[in-house]
Amino acid sequence: MSVDESTVRRVAKLARIAVSDAEVTKLRGELDAILSFVEELSALDVEGVEPMTSVIPTALRLREDVVTDGEKPEDVLRNAPAREGDFYVVPKVVE
């Protein structure tokens, strides 16, 4: 797959990166290299290969997903710059 200059400029705009005319040619080559590598990866047969979470095999210990208040409200609220009772006080923001 080959990338043209307009695509490079569009990607730069979407990424909010300022790109000069001199950089477009260099970036075009880099994007071509990246896309050709992705094409190589997509050609691999990964049928039956389990997804990995790490390069090193590890046994993840998962905790039960339970919603709590942290059981330490005073410790948490101690960090508040301003508080009212058991709540943070923040400035009103209206757009």
- The domains of the chain are located at 5-42
Report pLDDT for 8: 92
Q: What is the pLDDT of residues 27-68, one digit of tens each?
A: 999 999 999 999 998 888 989 888 877 777 777 677 788 888
Q: What is the C-alpha separation between 11 and 30, in angstroms, rounded?
A: 13
- What pLDDT score does 85 carry? 87
pTM here?
0.49
Higher pLDDT: 15 or 58? It is 15
Q: How far is CA 49 from CA 14, 32, 40, 57, in A?
A: 34, 28, 17, 14
